[in-house]
Chains A and B, each alone.
Chain A
Amino acid sequence: MTMPLTVFSALVLGALAITTAAPLLLLALLIRDWKRKQLW
């Protein structure tokens, strides 16, 4: 049973979307923690 092209593409694109959003989310959290004086 072979993984079809559409499933393969969807899997990689989904993973890529989350990986692209991750640094933005981390930066947003950093700014929020910094404003609350809760960095460390």
Chain B
Amino acid sequence: MNSVNSAILDASTGWAILAGFSLLWVALGWYWGRNAGQLDEYVLAGRRVGLALGTATAMATWVTSNTTMAAPQLAFQIGVWGMLGYSLGSIGLLLFAPLATRIRSLMPNGYTSGDFVRIRYGNTAWRVFLAISLFYSLGWLVSMGMAGGILIHALTGIPYHYGMTVILAICVGYTLLGGFRAVIGTDFIQALLILVGLVVIAFLAIGKVGFSSIHSAVLAERPELLNLLMPAAIMFLFNNLLFGIGEVFHSNVWWSRAFSFREGVGFKAYTLAGLLWAPIPIVAGFVALAVPALNINIPAADMVGPMVAADLLGVTGAVLVLIMVFAALSSSLDSLLAATSILIVEDIYRRHFKPHASAEQMRRAAARIIVGLGVLTWILCAPRLTTLAELLYFTGAFVASTIWPIAAGLFWRRTNPAAAVAGMVLGSAAGLYSYFAIGFYVAALVGAAVSMVCVLLGTWLAPRAFDWAQLREDHPLHMDTQS
């Protein structure tokens, strides 16, 4: 089946919806960013974000191609454990809640997760960490750029490259104009759109097909999807848990939010975001399990979500899905663009090349890097080389190896820096080996386990004391901004 022929929205309707929301996001980005002249305002929204916006931005950012594309895909491939496994991604947000409080109190003037690793563990660990973090950020950016192209193509027939280009250009545009304030403000609206869209689709699926028909059709045609003892799926569940924790613990997307939240907000915002996010992959995955009952021909596994929605809901529903998907992808893309740009500006541009750069120079560099990241993502998305889940889980080997160095570094004064380096390097290598030797569903599991052994064993054999006060040093950029 050709998705262009099966698209239930015509391309002109698709273009109209994309144009309307693109204008809205860009206008809001300009409006919210018009006073963000200073560096702290542009990259951290002035460090005064409240609970409502904080919760919504954490939740909306975590609703990515994971929930709109890969959760239905995995439910379709490995059944109920796919849904539940994705849901465990919320544990990363929940466990980051106390870390957010700790980060805010240890580094009240901090900018990036790289700042922490550099001061806490030294330059070697910092550079290894940067390599992992930037690789992951790029993988996430590319997976979402691809998701945008695939979804828009599936729903409207608009060619993959056009859809992918539009979503990247719009996110770059409003993030560039409004900085972090635009990211957080649009995230709130996008969170509402995602939640309402998902609820409508799920209720219509239940009303149109019903639990009993969905359950019996899956049982008759693909009983393995309801098998609670499917070994690969159970491995996936634990793997996804660790992958999610690794993603959240290390990524500057979450650290920059911890820095930007008003004092006392971090713990509540991340806890609430985790609790509200957890059911979303279950609802999205449930929609995919309607495939046997609906007797739909799925041309590619990563198109299962939009194909089911299109079959269930007709034209009005397809409009809703397109809006929801556009919101889900934008909310993550903008966050990644903003957080990765400040990571590159602070940890590479300033720390490696321009140690005396002023706040104004940093702000201009951040804007240029947002554009550069957009262009690079477009180049990598263009060939559409792999499926979304494969791309996403390839990075799992790397990020899971950072869990122990980050958590131990934040709470355990005696953590050995060399052990942290070994944990990241050996954990990544072991995770990568298991990805190719066993499967995508064990990469994070192995990476985290090896990293844990390195950090615990290394620190037990050779503990190194650390003075927490070093992390509280006034940041030159912060002082420059305040002056």
Contact = CB atoms under 8 A, between A and B. Distances in A.
B165 to A, nearest CB: 30
Contacts of B192: 23, 26-27
A8 to B, nearest CB: 5
Judged by DSSP, the binding face of A is helix
B282 A11 contact: yes
A16 B215 contact: no
B196 A23 contact: yes
Contacts of A17: 279
Contact of A2 (B52, B196, B211, B219): B219
Interface in A1-40: 1-3, 5, 8-9, 11-12, 14-20, 22-23, 25-27, 29-30, 32-33, 36, 38-40
A25 B62 CA distance: 18
B227 A2 contact: yes
B52 A29 contact: yes
B83 to A, nearest CB: 8
Given A15-B286, A30-B52, A40-B184, 12 more contacts: A3-B227, A5-B211, A5-B212, A15-B282, A18-B278, A25-B276, A26-B188, A29-B52, A29-B55, A39-B52, A39-B53, A40-B181
Interface of A: 1-3, 5, 8-9, 11-12, 14-20, 22-23, 25-27, 29-30, 32-33, 36, 38-40
18 contacts: A2-B228, A9-B211, A15-B87, A18-B279, A19-B198, A19-B199, A19-B283, A22-B59, A22-B195, A22-B276, A25-B276, A26-B192, A26-B276, A27-B192, A29-B51, A32-B51, A33-B51, A39-B53
Interface of B: 45-46, 48-53, 55-56, 59, 80, 87, 181, 184, 188, 191-192, 195-196, 198-199, 202-203, 206, 211-212, 215-216, 219, 223, 226-229, 262, 272, 275-276, 278-280, 282-283, 286
